[in-house]
Structure 1
Amino acid sequence: MLPIIKGKTLISFLESLNFTIIRQRGSHVRMKSEDGRYTTIPVHSGEAIPKGLLRKIIRDDLEMTLEEFTLAYNEYMGRIQ
């Protein structure tokens, strides 16, 4: 099951996976990984990213399985708390 994630939290998590912010236009942040993968994260004031969009980001942009993402995200959340 996917966690409920806000845009700013997802950006911090992706930075821990060596993604960097390359630009921001309005409420959308564009990020790039060291190996050339790109993603765009919506950052709307306090709103969680919709599940369907999160799935698309994980599978298509991050090229991870849902299980890989969930394990990495839970490990990350354990480290920062």
Structure 2
Amino acid sequence: MLNYLIVTAYPTALRATATGWAIGVGRVGAIIGSAIGGVVLESIGPSGYFASLALPLILAVAAVMVIRVSRDDSQLSKAYVSAH
């Protein structure tokens, strides 16, 4: 899903850099998330763990919506037409 979001959110000249950064940040997040998940599981149990997953998921949805809303389709289509 990340690759498709990058294709629609970034201009062609920045897509490779954006993909690299996104994958790198995702890997760091996976490492840190595993450590935090273990601490949360140990301290508040499985039900608290699953309840605590709601906040990051809500933040992720909000971030995707901000990217979608901030993109101006008319400018993208004009750039595409002028390039071809």
Q: If each structure's strand is expressed as a fraction of its own residues, which one has the higher value? A: 1
Q: Could you say whether these structures have the same fold, taking a TM-score greater than 0.5 normalized by the shorter chain as the test?
A: no
| Max Rg structure | 2
TM-score (norm 2): 0.28
TM-score where L is the length of structure 1: 0.29
Structure having the higher helix fraction is 2
